[in-house]
Structure 1
Amino acid sequence: MIKKMLIIVCLSMVFIACKNETTSKESTASINDVSAKFNEMLDNYYEESLQLNPLQATFTGDNRFNDQFPNPLAYETVTKVKAHFTKYKEELEKFDEASLSESEQMTKAILKWECDINLEGFNYKSEYFPIDQMWSVNLMMGQLASGASAQPFKTVEDYDNWLNRLDGYIAWMASAGEKMKEGMEAGYVLPKALIVKVLPQLKALTVKNPEEHLFYSPVKNFPDSFSEEDKKQLTEKYTKIVTERIIPAYETLHEFMSTEYLDAGRTTSGIADIPNGKDFYNYQIKLYTTTNMTANEIHELGLSEVARIAEEMEKIKEQVGYKGDLKSFFDDVRNKKELMPFTEPQQVIDNFNAIHDRMKPQIEKLFDKKPKTPFEVRRTEAFREKSASAEYNPGSLDGTRPGIFYTPIPEVTKYNTYSDESLFLHEAIPGHHYQISLTQESEELPKFRKTLWYSGYGEGWALYSESLGKELGLYTDPYQYFGMLGAEMHRAIRLVVDTGLHAKGWTREQAIQYSLDNEAESEAGITSEIERYMANPGQALSYKIGQLKIRELRAKAETALGDVFDIREFHNQVLETGCVPLALLEDKIDNWITASK
């Protein structure tokens, strides 16, 4: 009897095990099915995004749309973009959190943020400001037209693609003028101080001789493989479009902006002075910091950071033996001839490359993952050099086009080197080049996340990277360390002056004076910076907000993990997700700390 019962029990257990195994397989199959559908949706989102923004495709190295330029100011394009984000916000709701992996849950949260923030942006009239001196499409197109940027000029088809793309760009230029006229009637106009900075940029592209024109540049660099007939036909086509369409389009814009638009320009500085400007600024804060911080909170944080960094600067002033006050020390650093040693622009480029060589032996102590994408330092193009800041342009997704650190050198004999080490760490390595290239090279992230940019994370990482100088064998010269403090002070000041301009009624002149009182940048450089903040409210806040969050997360991990803490693994954790809103990064690091204990 016992034996029989044991047999029955055993058979029952086998049946249950088989049933559980079947259920488990069905569950696994179901999860795999959801994952496949989720990833298919992500691929569709990315593909449709590139079709709506073919310039982004070009910059990633996807050349399928190099002949296209859908006018972002056209009603048809705006309608398509709205529908795109609305559609995928609804698609996301079909996927239950419980059926997604941890990585997929983060991806869902990121895509929801992306849809929400873009849809919210349509509540504001940014199309009335299509051109400024720093951020607008015409400056990007000028870079591409040089033939030395992301738009390829290797085949005859490449050359024809650019001509076709110019059709859309010329339509955009006409639309830009129309939108600015509409903006004038509705009370949306740039400050006069910004308009006068745009005018020389436009004027430079009205030069009558086509062979001297920026948009003629590709003709001067035909590949050797081109036949004489190809060269002849392309030369004729480029001469015609530059002479008959590009130059007249720039002349029309310059004429309009230098007369009636300039006359209508605002004398006020902050975005709060346009209709719905206060709400727009709150949106810009959320867009660029990826937080819900208020303008007042950020302003007060800025004031406290300025005070803290000033104390550190006092120590450097004493170390180098300077006897005056801190403000006069700024002037001393600004004008110190020993810090302006160069006579040729190439010497500036060589100096950055030398900084790279000095830090190479230490880099593996902090990073065990390095990008494969090559890297170069280049001088900023002449047509935008006077109003440009140093910047990084990402390489292509496949790594065939290098990441490029552009540095403006408008007057080489006045080029001051005191902040070059921190600048290289920020714009190049391990700043933007590591963060962006490792993201693009990731085999784990879905395609759309490889090209995302959230300024709070991206600029926060780059500013955090500046603080790694001593660990990387730099900042041995007190002036270079002062340069790092100056760069951090510069970003702390941004919290004060950006909110001052756009939420507290500060004038351009007040903001310039506050900066002069608290940092060692030149007055010309500070003026350019303040005008940059005027052109794109909120962007300047992202650096310090992001840096402080990453520092906070590192300190939390060091404290919680003690001897187990590995700086290389912390950097892996921060970098492997690519750009994410800061709250999602904090959740990830918290989970990593818990799992590492």
Structure 2
Amino acid sequence: MITIRSTCLLLATVLAFNACSTHGGGQDTKAAADSLHHILDKYYDGKMQLFPLDATFNGEHQYDGLLNIDISQAFRQREDSFFNGYLQQLQGVDTAALTPNDRISYDVLQRELNIYKEGLQFHDYLMPIQQFWGLTLTLGQLGSGTSAQPFKTKEDYEKFMQRMKSFAEWGDTAIACMRKGMETGYVLPKTLVIKVIPQMRDLAKKDTGNVFYSPLKTLPAGVDTAFAGAYRQTIEQYVLPTYAKLQTFFEKEYLPKARTSSGIGGIPDGKAYYAYLIRYWTTTDKTPDEIFATGEKEVARIRGEMEEVKNSTGFKGDLPAFFEFVRNDAQFKIFKTPAQVLDSFKAIENKIMPNVRRIYGHIPKTPFEIRQTEAFRAASASAEYNQGSADGTRPGIFYVPILNAKEFSYVGMESLFLHEAIPGHHFQVSLQQENDSLPKLRRFSWNGAYGEGYALYCESLGKELGLYTNPYQYFGRLSDEIHRAIRLVVDVGMHAKGWSREQALKYMLDNEPTSEHDATAEIERYMAIPGQALSYKTGELKILELRHKYEQQLGNQFSLKDFHDELLKDGSVPLSILEQKMKRRFEK
């Protein structure tokens, strides 16, 4: 990965302005811009063909029938050649002649190419399936008929039939990769394999409750029974047997060979891989030790605030006892049905929108919905946001897993909504996709530290939006914040310091009011996707640092609406680029 250091980026910006202001600079700037825009457009189109599932989620439906075998050696060689080609093309762009906005595009593409290319040296393709995300789960979402895959015409159905057929080849390739991983030490932890097996079993079931049969209930007009039979046959010939084969493989072959270590350090090149994943997810060069220390400091600070809230309620007892009280007391479990939970989230949306419009100048046009997470993945899922389509035909969706409505606590619902929905992920992703002044690469890009950092920052806006009036809801906000601080400690603990799953679990249970079931799901999530959990706090701390800096510098001239609009207008960018673009806007 190439990190754009602040001084280099600032110099490039100055040169760009100078180039534009000289007599012949306009033509030079146009030539540089045209060259870069051509590269950006061609790269995006090529990337969509290379990663057709991304294209479907981005609303680019020309590749809806493709499912590349992205874990094969041939595909990885194709990726490497693709990235190398565009890195060479970028070398021909005169960066000194670029406008500030085009320089952002250049830096975003350069970083993406380098970080993707660097990732190919590692062996994650030997562990292609886990319980949290990946093709085995995504295909089920797409095949449900309620996600990004269109099911409006006969052709739409035919395209997904092609994907289902390709999935059988993908499954065979996955098993071959995992067998190689078993020989070389690149295997999942046993505890994760145990969670994967029931997922495969459920998706292999031949009954109408299986999510893949759902589109048969909404066939378009004019489709005959013969076609419906062919669609059903495709499911039963290619999809169900593949999941069944994976289930048998995991149970009979893979589980006995799975590793007992919890962290990625347990695989042969785990230390180097984790260092790479930190750079990938945080867009920084922070070391594991630096991140661990920041986490411990934040945990201590937030615990202090938690003590204050606990005391304000009149509770008699220590903080662990308060955790137990907040987690289990019946007064916090007010729902009887999933619909009541969803309605409560809708009430939060209605309450905050007037104040949202006061501190955000730009409101997305993309529709928004709140849905219960599908049953086939709810047990291992967290609340999440799925992006809508740029043209507004598919809404942004806030998914809430509700295993038992009667056990669903209202504590923390407000901060959860601010993060996953409004003004968090829904605003950030939708405004980015709707901004057609950005090249497509940036309209549909994602940097974890920026995206998750911004969403976590949004949780801090609750009081400004009229929420957290109940001390228990504010305690829920602090619980969510400490949860993200704990992630810095336990993620590094497991992946770089040799912590066991049980050590990480104990640290989480000691420092936040969560159940052992939920904490286990979280810790196992970090085991499955090392480094991703570091992005939230890393990004949030940078955004808070920038807000506090400009509040102090500008005083009464500081506009929170302007700050938020600038924060979001250029889309998801690495933190170093974010810092420089905010500097250009507020330090003129």
The TM-score bracket by the shorter chain reads over 0.9
| Corresponding residue for residue 163 of structure 2 | 165
In structure 2, C-alpha distance between the alignment counterparts of 1:38 and 1:191, rounded to whole Å: 44
In structure 1, C-alpha distance between the alignment counterparts of 2:22 and 2:557, rounded to whole Å: 36
Q: Specify the code of the residue in structure 2 equivalent to 1:126.
A: D
Secondary structure, counterpart of 1:521 in structure 2: coil
Consecutive unaligned residues in structure 2, runs of 5 or more = 1-20
| Corresponding residue for residue 90 of structure 2 | 92
Higher radius of gyration, 1 or 2: 1
1:66-145 to structure 2, matched below 5 A, reads 66-145=64-143
1:587 aligned onto 2:584? no
**Deviation larger for 72-81 or 62-71:** 72-81
In structure 1, C-alpha distance between the alignment counterparts of 2:391 and 2:80, rounded to whole Å: 30
1:535 aligned onto 2:528? yes
Q: Specify the code of the residue in structure 2 equivalent to 1:124.
A: F
Secondary structure, counterpart of 2:458 in structure 1: helix
1:185-196 to structure 2, matched below 5 A, reads 185-196=183-194
Secondary structure, counterpart of 1:376 in structure 2: strand
1:177 aligned onto 2:170? no
In structure 1, C-alpha distance between the alignment counterparts of 2:98 and 2:289, rounded to whole Å: 39
Deviation (angstroms), 1:24: 7.0
Secondary structure, counterpart of 1:154 in structure 2: coil
In structure 2, C-alpha distance between the alignment counterparts of 1:213 and 1:363, rounded to whole Å: 40
| Corresponding residue for residue 56 of structure 2 | 58
In structure 1, C-alpha distance between the alignment counterparts of 2:93 and 2:60, rounded to whole Å: 29
The CA deviation string for residues 239-260 of structure 1, in whole angstroms up to 9 with x for no partner, is 2112222221111110010121
Kept after mapping to 1: 8 A contact 2:122/2:273:
yes
The CA deviation string for residues 112-143 of structure 1, in whole angstroms up to 9 with x for no partner, is 10011001101110001100000211111110
1:220 counterpart (217, 221, 230): 217
Kept after mapping to 1: 8 A contact 2:167/2:238:
no
Deviation (angstroms), 1:206: 2.0
Kept after mapping to 1: 8 A contact 2:126/2:178:
yes
In structure 2, C-alpha distance between the alignment counterparts of 1:208 and 1:31, rounded to whole Å: 60
| Corresponding residue for residue 441 of structure 2 | 448
The CA deviation string for residues 346-371 of structure 1, in whole angstroms up to 9 with x for no partner, is 11110100000111121122101100
The CA deviation string for residues 180-230 of structure 1, in whole angstroms up to 9 with x for no partner, is 110000001100100000011000022133x3332111111123xx12xx2
Deviation (angstroms), 1:33: 2.6
Question: RMSD of aligned C-alpha atoms?
Answer: 1.2
| Corresponding residue for residue 236 of structure 2 | 243
The CA deviation string for residues 22-45 of structure 1, in whole angstroms up to 9 with x for no partner, is x97754233223212221111101
| Corresponding residue for residue 39 of structure 1 | 37
Counterparts in 2 of 1:321 and 1:94: CA distance versus 1, 3 Å: same
Kept after mapping to 2: 8 A contact 1:180/1:189:
yes
| Corresponding residue for residue 474 of structure 1 | 467
Q: Specify the code of the residue in structure 2 equivalent to 1:255.
A: T
Q: Specify the code of the residue in structure 2 equivalent to 1:28.
A: G
Kept after mapping to 2: 8 A contact 1:159/1:234:
no
| Corresponding residue for residue 347 of structure 2 | 354
**Deviation larger for 458-467 or 327-336:** 327-336
| Corresponding residue for residue 49 of structure 1 | 47
In structure 2, C-alpha distance between the alignment counterparts of 1:212 and 1:354, rounded to whole Å: 31
Secondary structure, counterpart of 1:387 in structure 2: coil
Deviation (angstroms), 1:234: 2.4
1:546-557 to structure 2, matched below 5 A, reads 546-557=539-550
| Corresponding residue for residue 261 of structure 1 | 254
Secondary structure, counterpart of 2:398 in structure 1: strand
In structure 2, C-alpha distance between the alignment counterparts of 1:372 and 1:593, rounded to whole Å: 27
In structure 2, C-alpha distance between the alignment counterparts of 1:555 and 1:540, rounded to whole Å: 24
Secondary structure, counterpart of 2:142 in structure 1: helix
1:572 counterpart (565, 569, 575): 565
| Corresponding residue for residue 521 of structure 1 | 514
1:338 counterpart (319, 328, 331): 331
Secondary structure, counterpart of 2:506 in structure 1: helix
Q: TM-score, normalised by structure 1?
A: 0.94
| Corresponding residue for residue 14 of structure 1 | none
Counterparts in 2 of 1:96 and 1:29: CA distance versus 1, 3 Å: closer
Secondary structure, counterpart of 1:212 in structure 2: coil
Secondary structure, counterpart of 2:78 in structure 1: helix
1:152 counterpart (144, 150, 175): 150
Kept after mapping to 2: 8 A contact 1:302/1:492:
yes
Secondary structure, counterpart of 1:377 in structure 2: strand
In structure 2, C-alpha distance between the alignment counterparts of 1:559 and 1:90, rounded to whole Å: 43
In structure 1, C-alpha distance between the alignment counterparts of 2:147 and 2:227, rounded to whole Å: 20
Secondary structure, counterpart of 1:435 in structure 2: helix
1:486 counterpart (468, 472, 479): 479
Percent identity of paired positions between Structure 1 and Structure 2:
47
In structure 1, C-alpha distance between the alignment counterparts of 2:543 and 2:143, rounded to whole Å: 38
In structure 1, C-alpha distance between the alignment counterparts of 2:242 and 2:127, rounded to whole Å: 18
In structure 2, C-alpha distance between the alignment counterparts of 1:238 and 1:215, rounded to whole Å: 10
Q: Specify the code of the residue in structure 2 equivalent to 1:165.
A: R
1:315 aligned onto 2:315? no
Kept after mapping to 1: 8 A contact 2:167/2:242:
no
Counterparts in 2 of 1:249 and 1:559: CA distance versus 1, 3 Å: same
Kept after mapping to 2: 8 A contact 1:222/1:231:
no
Q: TM-score, normalised by structure 2?
A: 0.95
The CA deviation string for residues 396-438 of structure 1, in whole angstroms up to 9 with x for no partner, is 1111110000010011111111000000000000000000000
